[in-house]
Amino acid sequence: MLCHAASGQDILRVSSDRLKEDLTILKTTLVELHPDIYRYTPKEKFEQVVDSVERSLGSELTVIKFYRQASLIVTSIRNGHTVIKPPDGFLRQSKLMPLRLIEFDKSVFIRNDFSSTDNRLRGLQITRINDVPIGELVRQIVPYVSMDGFNDDARYKAAVEDDLSYYYNIIIGQPKEFKLDLFDPSSGKNITEALPGIEAPEYWAKYSETNHFPWNIHFIDSLQGAYLKIGSFNNLAAAEGTKKTFNNFLRDSFAKLEKLNVKRLTIDLRNNGGGELKNAILLYSYIADKSFKFAKSVEVATIDKPTYLEYTNYQAAARLDKINSKQITRNNGSVQLTDHFSLAEVKPNPKNFEGEVIVMINEQTGSAAGAFATQIKSNKRGLIAGRENRDNFTGFSAGVPVVLTLPNSGIQVYIPLRKFGYAVDVDTGRGVIPDFNVTSNTKDYFGGVDTELNFVLSLFR
């Protein structure tokens, strides 16, 4: 049994009548707006989850305990873009475990130690946190992770890397310190450490410092090759005090590929969680060997305003996503858009690369990056190396979200408005399956050796 340490929202109690009102608003809005709510969880099972949560409310409940219950409704949909967040005040007053973690084959290691200036705990394996075995802890967090489909390995990795310090805070509790049982692979010794939590703003600032600039390109003369790292499809990324647009980065990079007569290109999308779909389409245009349409269909649940409009930003989201009645057709109960940039036919860029392409993915490749990998696979434009990604190969729900703020608890829920259909294969609820399954190991990772990239480059030799 895990102990839940108290916080402000853990002390604030709300009556069951008010929480039932929040629950009604949550369920109604999800059903009205979500374009694919029953894709993985049939309506009957979804209703059972909602009923179970309602029965658990009792006479009153703390806000954070209600959040934990409501989370099970949201994650039961199994869509990575349908996300629930605790009230803002809860996160602002939080103290987090000062570690960024990484997972290898269900074992958890310290990637970054924010409690020290020398990263002294990096590379150590965590076996227990506050006397709870790490595997048991992660398994308790996994049901609260929003993710598409049935890739359980990706869901487990996300519980650790997306990250466990955050999930521990909102699902397990906020202890004054974190007792860590550690194992040092280099010495074979067991170690115990007690680390105090750090304030959330400090944690996120240090976390951001560990993220590298998301785009870069390197040329490999011996292979007549190039390595293109795309860590994000976000539209702008800060680098050394400047801002570089994705469009300009690609323009310059592919001009160099042409100038240097590059024949082999590796595109690394590992740990790319997505960003602007337009940028994924733009990148694909630089390697396309024929005209293409990124999406085969785009659906919405409705063009009508939700019942509880006053608790949402629906009108602003609909404007940004340009939903209007003149751009739809109705077919067998579905509402399909006829005008969306992802449906347009796109010609190859005049500077398009015509050589060999290998795309690297892993469990953390998602959203726009997952859609890009789907295009590579379904159009047979290149090979895929790595591990199955976190999205559904045939499509998923995304786009500009509607933000629903539950009036009594302050909990926020992000609801996507678009259902994108990318491939025509039978829907198995799985991601892109690589042509080459490639894994790394802790010795190489912490030794600065990229095992996966070395394998991919060997394919070009």
Mean pLDDT, residues 381-404 taken together: 95
What pLDDT was estimated at residue 239? Answer: 52
d(CA 49, CA 73) in angstroms, rounded, equals 6
How close are the terminal C-alpha atoms of the chain, in Å? 54
Encode pLDDT of 88-99 as tens digits.
878 777 899 999
CB distance 35 to 82 below 8 Å: no
What pLDDT was estimated at residue 8? Answer: 47
Encode pLDDT of 74-116 as tens digits.
999 999 999 999 998 787 778 999 999 999 999 999 999 999 9
d(CA 145, CA 275) in angstroms, rounded, equals 19
| Token pair in block for residue 336 | 């399909």
The domain covering 215-295+340-391+431-459 belongs, at the CATH homologous superfamily level, to 2-enoyl-CoA Hydratase; Chain A, domain 1 (3.90.226.10)
pLDDT at 60 over 90: no
pLDDT at 4 over 50: no
Angle at CA of residue 106, ends 103 and 110, nearest 5°:
35
CB distance 338 to 328 below 8 Å: yes
Query: Can you give the length of the chain in residues?
Result: 461
Q: Strand, helix or coil at 75?
A: helix
Encode pLDDT of 348-375 as tens digits.
999 999 999 999 999 999 999 999 999 9
Strand-pair category, 418-421 with 297-300: antiparallel
Encode pLDDT of 309-353 as tens digits.
999 999 998 887 776 666 778 877 788 988 889 999 999 999 999
Mean pLDDT, residues 274-296 taken together: 96
Strand-pair category, 225-230 with 264-268: parallel
CB distance 383 to 412 below 8 Å: no
Percent of residues, the chain, with pLDDT higher than 70? 94
What pLDDT was estimated at residue 199? Answer: 92
Q: Residue 170 has what DSSP assignment?
A: I
| Token pair in block for residue 413 | 């829920």
Q: How many beta carbons lie within 10 A of that of residue 122, not counting itself?
A: 16
Place of tokens 């997505």: 274
What pLDDT was estimated at residue 38? Answer: 96
CB distance 343 to 298 below 8 Å: yes
More confident residue, 9 or 32: 32
**Residue 9 — very low, low, confident or very high, per pLDDT cuts 50/70/90?**
very low
**3 state SS for 6-37:** CCHHHHCEEEHHHHHHHHHHHHHHHHHHCCCC
Q: For residue 4, give every residue at least 6 positions away whose Cβ sits within 8 Å of its Cβ, in sequence order, or none.
A: 10, 65, 172, 173
What pLDDT was estimated at residue 1? Answer: 33
Encode pLDDT of 169-199 as tens digits.
999 998 989 999 999 999 999 999 999 999 9
pLDDT at 240 over 50: no
Mean pLDDT, residues 263-290 taken together: 96
Residue 21 identity (one-letter amino acid): E
**Residue 262 — very low, low, confident or very high, per pLDDT cuts 50/70/90?**
very high
**Residue 242 — very low, low, confident or very high, per pLDDT cuts 50/70/90?**
low
| Main-chain phi, psi angles of 362, to 5 degrees | -150, -170
What pLDDT was estimated at residue 295? Answer: 93
- pTM for the model stands at 0.93
Q: Which CATH class is domain 94-209?
A: mainly beta
Listed by start position, the domains of the chain span 8-91, 94-209, 215-295+340-391+431-459
d(CA 182, CA 124) in angstroms, rounded, equals 6
Which segments of 240-367 are extended strands (E)? Answer: 242-245, 264-268, 292-293, 297-300, 328-331, 334-337, 345-346, 356-361
What pLDDT was estimated at residue 323? Answer: 67
d(CA 311, CA 305) in angstroms, rounded, equals 12
Mean pLDDT, residues 64-70 taken together: 95
Encode pLDDT of 205-234 as tens digits.
999 888 888 899 999 999 999 999 999 998
Mean pLDDT, residues 398-414 taken together: 96
| Main-chain phi, psi angles of 325, to 5 degrees | -70, -15
